[in-house]
Chain A
């Protein structure tokens, strides 16, 4: 109806509509049709878009205009107090503002609180407030066009403010923001929102799936909100939450701070068939372990971690890798490796060796304690290596596969 009107003219129309809001809906729509036509013609009298002041000089204030119309049309006098106090837009806007401020505030506390239980509590409170206020806001509309919130003084002021801010953005950039920035934001907020939520509870694999689902849902909701503006009561507050959460989660993921799963590049799982970070020594990947007994004789051992989980390493230098088979005990060390000089011209012609490609230095018997055989029982264990390594400060890091 008023889609062709912009700026001060649209605001004027909205204010006239607010003044006439006590009329029966059918009559209101009809008379506003006329008023829209009138304002369109009046706007055309000006060179360019008329200012609010120019309009008021030409037509009087919106209230005067509405009163004139009311008198001439023989409508009953305005039910003044009821029309202003019980305006549905007012309550709807108030609940919307609560949903968009108080809810995200609690979620922000949760994000920066750090402690897991406190965080979860505030997330729960935040979303409860957000959804309750949004629901009350939509209910307060009582089935009216959501645009009635713009008829309230606060709504009109806010609209003008946003309009001015948007006008500050250069048109070219504005268009790019809408065509590129908007879809990117839709995907990002959905993925980070849903993914981050599950990451809070440490469910890495679930988070990856949730991120994809979240992105899809987010885009769907955005499309819905474009058609049915009542969704804005939910979408705007959730956007505020996302505006806080997305940078927080992304920076945490980048720094690898509390969202440890992201720092691996991709979420790992406990399945023994998925690659994991395995064993590292001073940051370097360990691809094999050669145990020697006290006599300096090479032996074969089965290695377990502190939970009795078999320790396995990703190795791509054996015949299983070449042939695609799985014939080895996964935690038996040393692994067989294809010697560097071997010529593997076909997968069947594969030969591997478990003989260490080095000779260990002689054991110095001053050290009373035997070399540790397994990591100490902490998830991230630091093990003093045998002096044989020649690097006194070396640390052995075992990344648990979960």
Chain B
């Protein structure tokens, strides 16, 4: 099964999750996702997700100068973002549990 198909549904959650502990700029978010094991994530889709979450009011954004080269735009969770993360986490956990049960029972039945 193609992970990129699965990613589409949960990219929001994944991005919110990597921003939970520390703010990050786009490329940084991308790196954290890859480091966590989501190798197939497409660069542009991460940037698009950040824009959509920002437009939805879940993220704050601020610009910081960097030592090397141009300024960087950082994104971070605000109250709405934290709430969204908590709610999405429940939805995901619930969903994952169902899937796990479904898959396990099928395997056991087989």
Interface residues of A (CB under 8 A from B): 4, 27, 30-31, 33-38, 40-42, 44, 59-60, 64-66, 68-75
30 contacts between A and B (CB under 8 A): A4-B70, A30-B51, A34-B50, A34-B51, A35-B47, A36-B70, A37-B26, A37-B27, A37-B73, A38-B26, A38-B27, A38-B43, A38-B47, A40-B70, A41-B27, A59-B44, A60-B42, A60-B44, A64-B44, A65-B44, A68-B44, A69-B44, A69-B51, A71-B45, A71-B48, A72-B11, A72-B51, A73-B47, A73-B49, A73-B52
Q: Min CB distance, A140 to chain B, in Å?
A: 30
Shortest CB-to-CB span from A221 to chain B, Å, is 31
Determine if B48 and A73 form an interchain contact, defined as CB atoms under 8 angstroms apart.
yes
With an 8 A cutoff between CB atoms, is B46 at the interface?
Answer: yes
Q: A31-B51, A37-B25, A41-B27 are in contact. Are A66 and B73 (CB under 8 A)?
A: no
B69 at the interface (CB under 8 A from A): yes
Query: With a CB–CB cut-off of 8 A, which chain A residues contact B46?
Result: 72
Complex Cα distance A65/B42, Å? 9
CB-based contact B43/A59 at 8 Å: yes
Q: Contact check: which of B25, B49, B70, B72 meets A72 at CB < 8 Å? A: B49
Q: With contacts A30-B51, A72-B49 known, is A37 near B44, CB below 8 A?
A: no
Known A37-B26, A37-B27, A38-B26: A70·B69 in contact at CB below 8 Å: no
Residues in A neighbouring B70, C-beta threshold 8 A: 4, 36-37, 40
| Given A37-B70, A37-B72, A38-B27: A74 and B43 interface contact (C-beta under 8 Å) | no
Nearest A residue to B68 by beta-carbon distance? A44
With A34-B73, A65-B43, A72-B52 given, can you name 4 additional A-B contacts, CB distance below 8 Å?
Answer: A37-B27, A42-B43, A69-B44, A73-B47
Is the pair B69, A68 in contact by a Cβ cutoff of 8 Å?
no
What residue in chain A is nearest B28 (Cβ atoms)?
A: A41
- Bound together, the chains give a CA A338 to CA B69 distance in angstroms of 80
The 3 closest A-B pairs by CB, nearest first: A72-B48, A73-B48, A68-B44
User: How big is chain B's contact interface, by range?
Assistant: 20 to 34
Q: Is the CB of B73 within 8 A of A68?
A: no
Of all chain B residues, the one with the shortest Cβ separation from A1 is B70
Please name all residues of chain B whose beta carbon is closer than 8 Å to the beta carbon of A27 when the two chains form the complex.
Answer: 51, 55
Q: Is the interface of B mostly helix, strand, loop or mixed?
A: helix
The A-contacting residues of B in range 11-62, CB under 8 angstroms, are 11, 25-27, 30, 42-52, 55
B50 cross-chain contacts in A, Cβ below 8 A: 34
Residues of A within 8 A of B72 (CB): 37
Known A-B contacts A38-B26, A41-B27; A69 and B45 likewise in contact (beta carbons under 8 Å)? yes
Q: Once the chains are docked, how many angstroms separate the CA of A4 from the CA of B46?
A: 23
B73 to chain A, nearest CB (A): 6
A73 to B59: give the CA distance in the assembly, Å: 13
CB distance from B20 to the nearest CB of A (A): 20
Contacts of A64 in B (CB 8 A): 44
Question: Would you call A33 and B73 a contact (CB within 8 A)?
Answer: yes
Which residues of chain A are within 8 angstroms of B26 by Cβ–Cβ distance? 34, 37-38
- In contact, A70 and B43 (Cβ under 8 angstroms): no
A66 touches B27 (CB 8 A): no
Contact A40/B69 with A34-B50, A73-B49 known, Cβ cut-off 8 Å: yes
Nearest CB of B to A78, in Å: 13
Q: Which residue of B lies closest to A42 (CB)?
A: B43
| From A33, A66, A74, contact of B44 by CB (8 A) | A66
Which B residue's beta carbon lies closest to that of A43?
B69
Identity of the chain B residue whose Cβ is nearest the Cβ of A2 in the assembled complex: B70
Smallest CB gap from A58: residue in B: B43
A34–B48 alpha-carbon span in the complex (Å): 9
Q: In the bound complex, how far is the Cα of B32 from the Cα of A376, in angstroms? A: 98
* A372: min CB distance to chain B, Å: 84
Name the residue on A nearest B15 (C-beta).
A72
Q: Which residue of A lies closest to B25 (CB)?
A: A37
In whole angstroms, how far apart are the Cα atoms of A68 and B49 in the complex?
A: 10
- Contact flags (1/0) for B62-80 with A, using CB distance below 8 Å? 0000000110110000000
* B residues near A59, Cβ cutoff 8 Å: 43-44
B48 and A70 contact, CB distance less than 8 A: yes
User: Does the CB pair B47–A31 fall under 8 Å?
Assistant: yes
Smallest CB gap from A59: residue in B? B43
Name B75's closest neighbour in chain A (CB-CB).
A34
Closest to B72 in A: A37
- Docked complex Cα distance between A30 and B51 (Å): 9
- Give the CA-CA distance A70 to B44 in the complex, in Å: 9
Complex Cα distance, B73 from A30, in Å, reads 9
Highest count of chain A CB atoms <10 Å: which of B11, B27, B52 = B27
Cβ–Cβ < 8 Å partners of A40 in chain B = 69-70
What distance in Å separates the Cβ of B76 from its nearest Cβ neighbour in chain A? 15
Residue of B nearest to A35 (CB): B47
Residues of B within 8 A of A69 (CB): 44-45, 47-48, 51
